[in-house]
Structure 1
Amino acid sequence: MSSAGEVVASVTSAIAVVLVLLACVELGDAAAAVGVYRLIQYDLAGAPLGSRAAALNHHAAAFPLPAGADLSRSALVAPLLDLPLSFLRAYLAEKNHLGGLLILLPTKLGSKDAAGDNDDKGKVNSMLAELEKLLVHEEVPYPVYFAFHDDHFDNLLEDIRKIATSGQPASATTGGYKLVVSSPEPRKVSSPTITNIQGWLPGLKGEGDTEQLPTIAIVANYDTFGAAPALSVGSDSNGSGVVALLEIARLFSRLYSNPKTRGKYNLLFGLTSGGPYNYNGTNKWLRSFDQRVRESIDYAICLNSIGSWSNDLWMHVSKPPENPYIKQIFEVY
């Protein structure tokens, strides 16, 4: 990638890993393994972002916490809607020590009946958006994992809270639960693979045309991004843009197959990767062009997140358009 963006990933950041719950109420009573998903870790323009640790081996704690609780050697387990964002912001801002964090997500996250009625579903979506924005734009010095909430975790939380009421922190001698993730240190991906796909429909020159035809570029990035890569869903970021581009290409390929319906513009289609990382794939794609092709681009449209619930279509330009026709479209719509 270019100097504008640098990616750091872990072998455990993009796949599910195993978290072991050790019930040590009687010094090793039982153990259970569950699948968890690690918070992303990456560097952007030299800034370390996301979770900077992977290994976890701490006793579990849960809300409500006693006053003045020391969580430096505890792994906090919290359902999504029970996790105060103010608590996380304070811990990050004040650089307080936390052994680890396990966030429990609704089991049917993203499905139509994910959280009951529309109000609950809206609350979950809003909370997820705020949480993701906070975690991926901050350096988080402790391991953060996600898991899906179920009856097993309900029982776990109930036990953790019962133990907490004793007034003694969980430990090897007092009992409790320990969360363990054995993971190697994250390793840097020095040369991430960037794969771009392009298509080209040449326009029809009229008699006497000697200059190269102008080009319209239609572009969409095809990858997605999320706090936990293995949980990322990109139906609108940017699956919707990809589907729109492919359909536009299909329609115009039929028109351009007949000289009578072929336009006097070349059409350039590009599906690019690296969108979430400062559009590195698009940057690489543009730099790969012959200078004449790059200079021939008269208009470019980037299709991104066009499948939203709203019926509005947003138009953005990098600078005031000079082409009078494009300028008219931008000012009117």
Structure 2
Amino acid sequence: MAIPRRTREGHILQPLYSMIALVFVLVAYIELGDAATVVDVYRLIQYDLAGSPYGSRFASLNHHAGSSLFAPGTDLSRTVAMIPLSEVNITLIREYIGQGRPLGGLLFLLPRIFSFENNDDLDKEKHGSEKDMLTSDLLDLEQTLIHAKIPYPVYFAFEDDNINSVLADVKRNDATGQPATATAAGYKLVVSAPEPRKVVSPTIMNIQGWLPGLKTDGDSNQLPTIAIVASYDTFGAAPALSVGSDSNGSGVVTLLEIARLFSLLYSNPRTRGRYNLLFGLTSGGPYNYNGTLKWLRSFDQRVHESIDYAICLNTVGSSNNELWLHVSKPPENTYIRQIYDGFSSVADELGVKVGIKHKKINISNPRVAWEHEQFSRLRITAATLSGLSTPPNFLENSGGLSDNRHFGNEAAIIKSVKLVAESIARHIYGHQGKKVEIFADNSSLAVNPSYIASWLDLLSQTPRVAPFLTKNDPLVIALKKELGEHTTEVNVQNEVLDGVFTFYDSISSKLYIYQVASVTFDLLLLLVLGSYLITLFSFLVITTRGLDDLISLFRRPPSRKVKTA
């Protein structure tokens, strides 16, 4: 029985269709093959302030790599500029962003010295000076990016051999005057990330613990209280990297060590002071100390009235020899003078200089510069001890990319612990102005450098931007547990961060870097393969069906006549 022509043609054409499909698969494979390298990347923060958008507004990325923002006459709307920190020109970047020029994306490459995961492997003496040279550039870059609306993805990554090799290739291509585009060879950078979503009802968590003083039978009134407070959360250009070793990891470590020392002192009824000690680890510090305000408002009247004074710790690990006591009341105030005299006398013994800075509160302005100002607004005597002589600008000095681990800042924190602990102890036991060393180095009440180093290491590797912390965050649990080891009545206060901020998720991702061929190469390959397949197809048809069958495949079929009734 003869095989119908249509069936025979179908059998002949089927291999052709399969071959053509194979061609497209091969071309697609050449265009985007296996990733040349995969890199962890960290997105620039995205937030709204009073309804105004700031930061990077997009997360997904799929463009060719370039090495410069400043190629004259070049369309960069589909290019991701890879820029090492050492090559950042902050003036030109500000101009580029300010002018709203189109760009596919930005990828800033940070040296490994700014990585919070690998500092232990670095030569501290060699890399310490290098870090100091680049820190100023990084601070300027962060502030430029944080306070701008950027309508394309912006990511940070750490340099390594793979990404440096890619960058070198990209630079060589750009040097030819033909940067990578959709029609040229090069590298394609791909981040597959969903559209960023708003963080709904971000929670801030305050942690507090008490060390009750010794109350005798004859005491009818509540004992006075001294509060030691430190804000533990951070804010930076990249939330997934905002560890804040000094801002304010140093304040948190100092508070924990002071709590440990006084727990030992108060464990013996003979040395237990007639003061309560209240320890507070507060959240929402970068956002006008929102958590501190909520914490204070949760106090009942008796606790409020019992607070003799509060010491807030902020950035106390940046300097070995100079600290500042920031106050809202004039230095001539009796209570302020008493606090300052107690600190300055101990500072002299430690070889540390403590200055005093008075900044009056503007009641009509809800913005506060220091944490103690939230206490002062509620008429509680308070001061902030800091290595900063002036208040930071809004959303600055709160755990940026450069604040990951200061080499040698354990020594500064040890001095801060001794300064605060000795000053408070002399106040409690009535030894003001006397050279009575309660926390002597050779005693059981000595400061523990290993304890300080271990907690500083943890905080130097733990991003803690409040809107991205959960109620069961391991860090919050660890801080609560540790404070509970040294105090009583430890509890966590959960509050919703209010105010004018809105935050967005998608803070970290994977960057896939593909090496791609040019379109010219793809077309040439397609032409060669197509010619080969047509020749092969023709040969197969001729050898199996004959020349007439091959010609009939390309001959126009005769039109059929329709019979009319």
Q: TM-score range by the shorter chain?
A: 0.7 to 0.9
Alignment RMSD: 2.8
8 A contact 2:329–2:336 mirrored in 1: no
* Distance across 2 between alignment mates of 1:55 and 1:295: 53
Residue of structure 2 in register with 1:297 after alignment: 307
Map of 1:239-258 to 2, 5 A cutoff?
239-258=249-268
Larger Rg: 2
What TM-score comes out, normalization by structure 2 length?
0.50
Find the residue that maps to 2:165 and give its secondary structure. helix
Residue of structure 1 in register with 2:46 after alignment: 41
With over 3 angstroms needed to count, the CA separation of the structure-2 counterparts of 1:116 and 1:67, relative to structure 1, is farther
Please say if 1:308 is aligned against 2:331. Answer: no
8 A contact 1:221–1:272 mirrored in 2: yes
8 A contact 2:58–2:195 mirrored in 1: yes
Please say if 1:94 is aligned against 2:104. Answer: no
Amino acid at match of 2:188: K
Residue 71 of structure 1, aligned match among 76, 90, 96: 76
8 A contact 1:60–1:177 mirrored in 2: yes
With over 3 angstroms needed to count, the CA separation of the structure-2 counterparts of 1:65 and 1:134, relative to structure 1, is closer
Cα deviation code 1:192-221 (max 9, x no counterpart): 222221111233456765443332111012
* Distance across 2 between alignment mates of 1:162 and 1:151: 17
Please say if 1:50 is aligned against 2:60. Answer: no
Residue 28 of structure 1, aligned match among 32, 49, 60: 32
Amino acid at match of 1:196: N
* Distance across 1 between alignment mates of 2:178 and 2:29: 13
8 A contact 2:284–2:292 mirrored in 1: yes
Residue of structure 2 in register with 1:179 after alignment: 189
Cα deviation code 1:210-266 (max 9, x no counterpart): 443332111012223332222233322222212211221222223334444333332
Amino acid at match of 2:318: S
Amino acid at match of 1:39: L
* Distance across 2 between alignment mates of 1:66 and 1:25: 30
Please say if 1:233 is aligned against 2:233. Answer: no
Residue of structure 1 in register with 2:149 after alignment: 139
Residue 158 of structure 1, aligned match among 144, 159, 168: 168
8 A contact 2:79–2:181 mirrored in 1: no
Amino acid at match of 1:31: A
Residue 130 of structure 2, aligned match among 109, 120, 133: 120
* Distance across 1 between alignment mates of 2:259 and 2:192: 47
Cα deviation code 1:278-331 (max 9, x no counterpart): 322222211211133123322111112211144212211233368514224447
Q: Percent identity?
A: 64
Amino acid at match of 1:28: L
Compute the displacement of 1:146 (Å): 1.2
What TM-score comes out, normalization by structure 1 length?
0.82
8 A contact 1:101–1:144 mirrored in 2: yes
With over 3 angstroms needed to count, the CA separation of the structure-2 counterparts of 1:92 and 1:246, relative to structure 1, is same
* Distance across 1 between alignment mates of 2:178 and 2:259: 65
With over 3 angstroms needed to count, the CA separation of the structure-2 counterparts of 1:322 and 1:249, relative to structure 1, is farther
8 A contact 2:205–2:291 mirrored in 1: yes
Which of the two has greater helix per residue? 2
8 A contact 1:222–1:273 mirrored in 2: yes
* Distance across 2 between alignment mates of 1:163 and 1:234: 38
Residue of structure 1 in register with 2:272 after alignment: 262
Residue 130 of structure 1, aligned match among 136, 140, 148: 140
With over 3 angstroms needed to count, the CA separation of the structure-2 counterparts of 1:321 and 1:109, relative to structure 1, is same
* Distance across 2 between alignment mates of 1:115 and 1:179: 35
With over 3 angstroms needed to count, the CA separation of the structure-2 counterparts of 1:308 and 1:92, relative to structure 1, is same
Map of 1:77-88 to 2, 5 A cutoff?
77-88=82-93
Residue of structure 2 in register with 1:3 after alignment: none
Residue ranges of structure 1 left out of the alignment (5+ in a row): 1-23
Amino acid at match of 2:255: L
8 A contact 2:229–2:311 mirrored in 1: yes
Amino acid at match of 1:268: L
Residue 230 of structure 2, aligned match among 192, 215, 220: 220
* Distance across 1 between alignment mates of 2:212 and 2:179: 71
Between Structure 1 and Structure 2, how many residues are aligned?
310
Find the residue that maps to 2:114 and give its secondary structure. coil
Compute the displacement of 1:118 (Å): 4.6
8 A contact 1:62–1:77 mirrored in 2: yes
With over 3 angstroms needed to count, the CA separation of the structure-2 counterparts of 1:169 and 1:246, relative to structure 1, is closer
Residue of structure 1 in register with 2:112 after alignment: 107
* Distance across 2 between alignment mates of 1:296 and 1:322: 23
8 A contact 2:226–2:275 mirrored in 1: yes
With over 3 angstroms needed to count, the CA separation of the structure-2 counterparts of 1:270 and 1:117, relative to structure 1, is closer
With over 3 angstroms needed to count, the CA separation of the structure-2 counterparts of 1:253 and 1:153, relative to structure 1, is closer
Residue of structure 2 in register with 1:200 after alignment: 210
Amino acid at match of 1:242: V
Relative contact order higher in (CA < 8 Å, ≥ 6 apart): 2
Find the residue that maps to 1:195 and give its secondary structure. strand
Compute the displacement of 1:270 (Å): 0.6
Amino acid at match of 1:256: Y
